[in-house]
Amino acid sequence: MSKITTARLLAMKQAGHKIAMITAYDATFAKLFEQAGVHAILVGDSLGMVLQGETNTLKVSVDDIAYHTRCVANGSEKMFIVADMPFMSYSTPEQACAGAATLMRAGAHMVKLEGGEWLAETVTQLTRQGIPVCGHLGLTPQSVHVFGGFKLQGRKAEQAEQIKRQAVALEAAGIQLLVLECVPSQLAAEVSRLLHIPVIGIGAGPDTDGQVLVMQDALGLTSGYVPKFTKNFLAESGNVKAAIEAYVAEVADGRFPGPEHSFS
């Protein structure tokens, strides 16, 4: 696998080749995931829940993400690394630039922000400073208390139109990647066709340009509630590398996600 860049991800979308992304938080898993053919790593604020044991992502700091981004970067030579901007770390463009600079210095190739049109000025400012940006729409976990829980977004026509409008506005502002989380499959397909940039789905059906999963979910390590959109690849493969190879292969040929992992 040659080094993955924003240009390579865009070329994959244009060629119809699916992008396989997964979360990672340390060098060991990063190296193994690269060997398994993963294209992109998300150093997610999900670490607040799966590593720190919190009930949501809100306590994660920029320093937390920077530490784990540095660990992942030390284990990866070729994968594209996206680092989450944590809760309240980008309330102004100036604050966003400072936090994003910390994450880029730690080894990120792109930062991810949750939110719609209100982020346009921030996205533009970041890209002017040479910082690539990934958007995140649909279920945005940092807004869990606004939504009243981790709930499907975009099922109502008005919500769906809002998500499409926000996606177009973010692309116009300069994002080069978009994550769509927990939205109906048809809406995700429409957004993927609407945008020129790659769209990565999680709980968004099979018709996005790629998929992302939390690594603990993909390996069946999640205790308690297991989201509908996940699959335990380790149960069928017997070892971690084979499990992630299966994930990459099933994303590539469209077997994952199936109807049982998607929302209508």
- Tell me how crowded residue 195 is: count the other CB atoms within 10 A of its CB: 20
Angstrom distance (rounded) from CA 209 to CA 13? 6
84/89 Cα distance (integer angstroms)? 10
Band (85; pLDDT cuts 50, 70, 90): very high
**Domains of the chain as residue ranges with CATH:** 6-261 (3.20.20.60)
pLDDT tens for residues 118-150?
999 999 999 999 999 999 999 887 766 555 555
Tell me the percentage of the chain whose pLDDT exceeds 90: 88
What 3-state DSSP class applies to 239? coil
CB-based contacts of 86-94 (< 8 A; 24+ apart in sequence) = 86/45, 86/57, 86/60, 86/61, 86/62, 86/142, 87/45, 87/57, 87/58, 87/59, 87/60, 87/142, 89/61, 89/62, 90/119, 90/122, 92/122, 93/121, 93/122, 93/125, 93/126
89 marked as binding residue? no
N-terminal to C-terminal alpha carbon distance within the chain:
35
- Per the CB < 8 A criterion, the answer to whether 24 and 213 are in contact is no
117 is in an annotated binding site: no
Catalytic residues: 181
pTM of the model: 0.96
Q: List all residues 6 or more positions away from 218 whose beta carbon is below 8 Å from its beta carbon.
A: 22, 230, 231, 232, 233, 234, 243, 244, 247
pLDDT tens for each residue of 173-203: 999 999 999 999 999 999 999 999 999 999 9
CA distance 116 to 168: 10
Residue 168 near residue 125, CB atoms below 8 Å: no
Q: For the ranges 60-69, 216-225, 255-264, which has the lowest average pLDDT? A: 216-225
Q: Is 241 annotated as a binding residue?
A: no
